[in-house]
Structure 1
């Protein structure tokens, strides 16, 4: 929400209203499941008239798609920034993703389990997975050169490994699986596990 609001003061009135609606949607999804999102609830949180909503979005699905697409962009930016930090890039990006998932569990839930009723949510998550898989593959090709696995194999592995991490973090931060939680009391141990899985899974 803070990221969406970063340039609000410099926006035109129309853009401010659109941003306010997106922030209201993000605030709602931080607390409530996607299927409970309504135009009325969004307008109430944003402090705008019901009719104003339709000047910016045709329905709640389009609004949710815009918010989750922006969230996917935010995730990518945070993770790419992590790759430029000191130390191991795989560990840094995995740590960043864990923090993002925990801090934004409601939005992550909306993307990961958006369901058939919200194709825009599914599309946002698919784009995030595709773009990040490509980023991982390019980094692996740069590191290993001709020793790297063929690109289709690397993409399959990146998708599979990312899916494993998403499933684990969903159980930990969204569905609150008590057994997963009991195994995850040491965040550093979880981070080391994920880093090891990524490195072993992508290795030649």
Structure 2
């Protein structure tokens, strides 16, 4: 993936681009959120300090509190927006490249480009109830699309069975990408350097798992 593609998948860059040409308050809010994104790439959410966020954003702590009452409010706002970003990108990729294959490729790229935010969603959801609910909505939306596509095939299993399979397969993909991009499992990394090959494997699992 080239540098332009990587940039296009980074939520922090998306926030800054969206705020361009907007009033100063909107741009400052985006700066704060983008700074938090960068810090989350190298630390756990509970380690995030408001002073560090302000330093990275180039603002005072007083300015921070104009926009967010505390760190938790910032993280809820950030993660809720990130889930919407994920959903929009995955839907667009699904429409362009096939329900499973297109969305899986987009999810891989988005996960890699936003590892810190994905860590918060997958491993820290209990601490961010609004984000957890948003992530569950994303999963439901994705699974409904996959199940609907699979159910149209001749001889397809019942919808309940397809739904169970889709949840199980989605969990497997999350575990794979977590090991690759979050915990950086060396054994997995050794066989996952080729993006195309990894996507072929993940798509094969989806295809076989959703067959009748």
Q: TM-score, normalised by structure 2?
A: 0.83
Counterparts of 1:53-92 in structure 2 under 5 Å?
Answer: 53-86=64-97, 88-92=98-102
* Alignment equivalent of 2:59, drawn from 41, 48, 66: 48
* Structure 2 equivalent of residue 110 of structure 1: 120
The aligned runs of 1:133-172 (5 Å cut-off) are 133-141=143-151, 143-144=152-153, 147-172=155-180
Contact (CA 8 Å) 1:111, 1:124: kept in 2 or not? Answer: no
Give the total of aligned pairs.
201
| 1:14 match | 25
Task: Determine the structure 2 residue equivalent to 1:183.
Answer: 191
In 2 relative to 1, CA 112–158 (structure 1 residues): closer, same or farther, beyond 3 Å?
same
Q: Structure 1: state its 5+ residue gaps.
A: none
| Contact 1:137 1:151 (C-alpha < 8 Å) held by counterparts | yes
- 3-state SS in 1 of match to 2:142: helix
Q: CA RMSD in A?
A: 2.2
Structure 2 unaligned segments of length 5 or more: list them: 1-11
Cα-to-partner distance string for 1:159-188 (whole Å, 9 max, x where unaligned): 211110000110011101112122323333
Higher helix share: 2
Distance change (3 Å), C-alpha of 1:11 and 1:196: same
In structure 2, the CA distance between the partners of 1:84 and 1:128, relative to structure 1 (3 Å rule), is closer
Q: Is the 8 A contact 2:99 2:145 kept in 1?
A: no
* Contact 1:80-1:93 at 8 Å conserved across structures: yes
